Amino acid sequence: PWFHDQIPFGRERYVIPYIAAAFAVYALILAHLFPAYHAYHRERSALGNGLRFGLLMGVVFDALQGGIIEVATFEGMTLRVFALDSGYHVLVEGALGGLVCAAVARASVASSEPRAGELAGARASAS
């Protein structure tokens, strides 16, 4: 494929366990940081916060840190490849990661809120 041919010196075969480990660490970082971001911006919806957070993390971790390091270490890394690679990481991985964080946060809040029947029962027993 075009993208693989443009990489200055790519591996013949990807080391999948390394890739899986990197995504696991990235997911743990997102899961750890999202609750604080969401609490700070609680006036916004969880999904809106998730999308903004994911895009921000995509820029910070992938586009800036990872992308600039790739440009600095790979000889012949073109701006076109950098833009395509970083854009994918931000718009796909970052956005999806943030939306997953938001969905999990919404589910955990919904499961911790008392249901109407439970609330009525608790009020009746308190009186």
Whole-structure pTM value: 0.66
3-class SS string, 58-121: HHHHHHHHHHHHHHHHCCCCCHHHHHHHHHHHHHHHHHHHHHHHHHHHHHHHHHHCCCHHHHHH
pLDDT per residue as tens digits for the range 55-74: 999 888 877 777 777 777 77
Domain definitions of the chain by residue range: 2-126
CA pair distance 116, 44, nearest whole angstrom: 24
Cβ–Cβ under 8 Å, residues 93 and 58: yes
Confidence of residue 36 (pLDDT cuts 50, 70, 90): very high
